[in-house]
Chain A
Amino acid sequence: MTATHSNQTQIVADPDVPLVRITREFDAPREKVFRAHTDPELVVQWQGPRGMEARVEHYDCRTGGSYRYVHTQDGEEYGFHGCFHEVRPPEVIIQTFTFEGFPDGVALERLELADLGNGRTRLTATSLVDSFEGRDAFLASGMETGVREGYERLDALLAD
């Protein structure tokens, strides 16, 4: 059940409800992992996609707070914002997430940190969206050309 040396990310796309669940273990106590999610100066260091400039407009990570950040790539800006619905250090953050290019779409995200002992933490991140189409677009997102290629290949496969 427990891998001795590997902290590999695992991902589940639930077939019954439109959600994606990611689990990952860290060699750090959950106070630190929690801080890395709540402190904007730390968040920018790891969260955005690689090769993108991230700028945090505000990041008020407490129950009832909100956030907005902007990713920049090739002069294009992509804004994201949401509300922190519940922030319970050092174990739970529940927040909404919206890509401003599609302002009516909103994902409900839940982050849970479990203390594994020996200074280790298991992170479980769940994203729930309002349709399977939304979830599947989400799964296919951020893959740049890969997505288009993938869709084209799928179209070709399905056309046979």
Chain B
Amino acid sequence: MAADALSRVFSALADPTRRDMVARLAVGDATVNELAAPYDVTLQAVSKHLKVLEDAGLVSRSREAQRRPVHLEAQVFDLMTKWIERYRRQAEERYRRLDDVLAAMPDDVSPTPPRERGTPT
């Protein structure tokens, strides 16, 4: 269930128009009309994109206000970014160990080990 939720966030952001809308909403809340203005698409098409972003939990729309502005759920966006950052840090740790391995190697090694090493025993 949770993994699906993460995937919905990723796939919602796979579309360039939706990424654009998220970027626009990062500046501030906006109405559907305001969001539609820069694009040569129908209001229905914009509403469809919004529905995908809403289902992914990335945006919400206030129920009370007459204009029903769209609001970016920045925490959800940040959480995904944090996940990726954590993965990046793990890779960086691994490659720092590789830095050390490389520093300890002689300069004139061949790119592959002698044949007998690594073959099944």
Contact = CB atoms under 8 A, between A and B. Distances in A.
A binds B: yes
Interface of A: 7-11, 13, 15-16, 20, 22, 24, 26-28, 30-36, 38-42, 45-47, 49-50, 56, 58-62, 87, 89-90, 123, 132-133, 135-137, 139-140, 142-143, 146, 150-155, 157-158
20 contacts: A7-B99, A11-B88, A22-B91, A26-B98, A35-B105, A35-B112, A39-B117, A41-B113, A46-B97, A49-B94, A58-B121, A62-B112, A132-B10, A135-B10, A139-B87, A140-B87, A142-B87, A154-B6, A155-B1, A157-B73
Contacts of A38: 111-113, 118
Interface stretch (B11-19, B24-32, B41-49, B61-69): B11-19
Given A22-B91, A60-B118, A35 B109 contact: yes
A154 B5 contact: yes
A145 B80 CA distance: 16
8 nearest A-B pairs in the assembled complex, by CB-CB distance: A151-B2, A46-B97, A89-B111, A90-B111, A39-B113, A158-B57, A9-B92, A34-B111
B83 interface: yes
Nearest to B18: A15
Contact of B102 (A11, A33, A143, A157): A33
A37 to B, nearest CB: 9
Interface of B: 1-7, 10-11, 13-15, 19, 57, 73, 75-76, 79, 82-84, 86-95, 97-103, 105, 107, 109-113, 117-121
B120 to A, nearest CB: 4
Interface of B is mostly: helix
Contact of B110 (A30, A35, A139, A152): A35
A36 B3 contact: no
A58 B101 contact: no
Contacts of B87: 11, 20, 139-140, 142-143
Contacts of A7: 95, 99
Contact of B86 (A13, A34, A146): A146
Contacts of B3: 133, 136-137, 140, 151
Contact of B90 (A42, A49, A152, A153): A49
A35 B2 contact: no
Contacts of B6: 136, 140, 151, 154
Contacts of A155: 1-2, 5
Contacts of A152: 2
A11 B84 contact: yes
